[in-house]
Amino acid sequence: MKKNERLCAQPETGRTEAGKYDVIVIGGGIAGCSAALASVRHKKRTLLIEKLTVLGGLATTGHITIYLPLDDGYGRQVIGGISEELLKLSTKYAYHGVDISTWKEEGRRYECKFNGPAYSLALEELLQSEGVDILYDSLFCGAEISDGICRGVYVENKSGRVLYACGAVVDASGDAEVFFRNGSRCIAAENSLAIWTYFSGIPQHSIVQKRGGADAPGLNLVSIGTIDVTADKHIVTEPYYGDSGENVNRFIQDSHKRLLGVLRSDPSAAPAALPGMADIRMARRIDGSYELSDKDANAHFEDNIACTGDWRRPGPVYEIPYRTLFNKDLRNVLSAGRCISTSGEAWEIIRCIPQASATGQAAGTALAMALDCGVDVQDLDVMKLRETLKADGMILDVNKG
């Protein structure tokens, strides 16, 4: 070997423990980032595991670069806490910040657009500054579970297959991976084909719908396809479910074919960046101790740990019960983001960025408290959890009274 070379270490095999943490968060999307922040702010040694090379998930790598509203559409803010903090962070290094003084004006909503790469770097900077350990390029591939307690998680990376021991886990994978690998009952949703990407030049409006707002000079952020499942039936004869390798692979390749169709039809269109992950909106979620559904619009729950309006239109507000974050099987694992227990229109709302952050903060806080109290997540004093969340800036009980 030459002086500047070294012999490669053989990959680890079997049960090799690489470290131990109080809380491990699976998934570095917005839900995972919020959960990790909440956990470390409550004095827990926290590891965030991300399979890609940047933070933000669909918000950044998937090019869904719009931070949807924190309000109910009628001038009332219904989401606060870390979600509001991360909205402001999203424009820290691009688009000159967020002017929150105007969001209550008639016709405006508390939302913004952001630059994905800049946001990824801002998220990493924030988490590292607060003491969260981040493990990139590492794929969650299993958990060591006994008697309903997750005692560690396995990842695959350049070191091989290694184990990180833990006291508790936040499943912010977007796919309920920890619950699914445990054999817990999970549910998948049908998705239409839609892909977000950046183009230089001006694509045909009949094919590509431009997004207005502060996009980078010379680039248009565009969506190809539709988020309306029924409207896409004439193109997609077999629905996409994000719960199997075969389905995700088909979704990605069909998305690429549709992009090629744009290039063939419009010589002026030149792709500048493709999403680094499948733009599947709703993949696999847990069947939790409570399922939030359409019937719960404007309902009040004594155990609500977050609230949300409808990002698509002014209208009902959902309070999110703590029970949607867990099931009966796992005693120290909570879900966060789009894989909590929801269905129908409620799932369509809960899957988005602000809601992911809110449920992430609730999950990270709850697990920190459960570890302090030495109790299972099902037995946590929810009233004390709610008091803590409100002290940390969360908005609760919007439908009470």
| pLDDT classification of 233: cutoffs 50, 70, 90 | very low
Average pLDDT, the chain: 86
200/359: higher pLDDT: 359
- Which one, of 399, 292, 279, 289, lies nearest residue 344 by Cα? 292
Instruction: Say yes or no: 58 and 154 in one domain.
Output: yes
Q: Which amino acid is at 26?
A: I
Q: Which of 115-129, 182-196, 270-284 has the highest mean pLDDT?
A: 115-129
Model pTM score:
0.90
Instruction: Examine the fold and report which residue of 230, 249, 273 is the final residue of a domain before the chain moves on.
Output: 273
Least confident segment among 54-63, 71-80, 239-248: 239-248
User: Residue 241: beta bridge partners?
Assistant: 190
User: Residue 71: beta bridge partners?
Assistant: 77
Instruction: Say yes or no: 174 and 73 in one domain.
Output: yes
Kindly tell me if the per-residue pLDDT of 370 is higher than 90: yes
Q: Is residue 159 part of a domain?
A: yes
Instruction: Say yes or no: 169 and 213 in one domain.
Output: no
- In this prediction, residue 306 carries a pLDDT of 98
| pLDDT classification of 10: cutoffs 50, 70, 90 | low
Total number of domains in the chain: 2
Instruction: Say yes or no: 240 and 366 in one domain.
Output: no
Q: Is residue 64 part of a domain?
A: yes
Instruction: Say yes or no: 328 and 380 in one domain.
Output: yes
Over residues 322-355, the pLDDT tens digits come to: 999 999 999 999 999 999 999 999 999 999 999 9
CATH of the domain at 46: 3.50.50.60
Print the domain residue range for 371: 17-189+283-391
Cα-only R_g, the chain: 21
If DSSP codes are grouped into helix, strand and coil, which group holds residue 191?
Answer: strand
Instruction: Examine the fold and report which residue of 273, 296, 330 is the final residue of a domain before the chain moves on.
Output: 273
Over residues 119-160, the pLDDT tens digits come to: 999 999 999 999 999 999 999 999 999 999 999 999 999 999
Q: Is residue 129 part of a domain?
A: yes
Q: Is residue 23 part of a domain?
A: yes
Instruction: Say yes or no: 55 and 165 in one domain.
Output: yes
Task: Provide the terminal-to-terminal Cα distance of the chain, rounded to the nearest Å.
Answer: 75
Helix (H) or strand (E) holding 87: helix 81-89
Kindly tell me if the per-residue pLDDT of 219 is higher than 70: no
Rounded distance, CA 119 to CA 94, Å?
Answer: 8
Q: Tokens for 313?
A: 């239109």
Rounded distance, CA 349 to CA 73, Å?
Answer: 14
Rounded distance, CA 290 to CA 341, Å?
Answer: 7
DSSP string, 366-387: HHHHHHHHT--GGGS-HHHHHH
